[in-house]
Amino acid sequence: MRIGEVARRLGVATHVLRHWDDSGVVVPDRSPTGHREYSEDHVYRLRVLQACQGVGMSLPEIRQVLNRTEPDRIGVIERRLHRIRAQRKQFEQAEKFLGHVVDCRHDLLTRCERCSSYAETVVASGS
């Protein structure tokens, strides 16, 4: 299928597909006249690309994930999992903090040990 149809199916602009091709992430076949031709397999790979972007991966990382023979493919995935788990922990701590702040009865948050201790952990972790 042609680039315009794939762009509509994926909800992206054609220039995005060209960029992904030029970056070597998902490279479609070419017609005898030089037009990009996408198969259903290309569309599937593009959907995986979009899912990887959704979890914060860069195009070079995605290229490694999509190609099973890439060196350090597993390392890329494991590092992303580590970052996601760290972010989840930060969000859980932030949720607990804000839940506490809603009900905190101190006139100043700095006088509340729980509020202050959370603030210290945020500064210490560099968040």
Would you say residue 31 lies in a domain?
Answer: yes
* Same domain, yes or no: 61 and 100: no
Range of the domain at 111: 85-125
pLDDT at 90 over 60: yes
Interval 29-66: pLDDT, tens: 999 999 999 999 999 999 999 999 999 999 999 999 99
Residues 60 and 7 placed together within one structural domain of the fold: yes
Q: Decide if 67 contacts 73 (C-beta within 8 A).
A: yes
CATH number of the domain within which 9 lies: 1.10.1660.10
CB atoms within 10 A of CB 76: 20
Helix axis angle, 3-10 to 40-54, nearest 10°? 40
Task: Identify whether 76 is part of a domain.
Answer: no
- CA–CA distance, 55 with 33 (Å, rounded to integer): 37
Strand ranges for 1-127 from DSSP E: 29-30, 36-37
For residue 113, being part of any structural domain is answered with yes
Domains in the chain, number: 2
The residue ranking higher by pLDDT, 101 or 68, is: 68
Residue 98 lies in a domain: yes
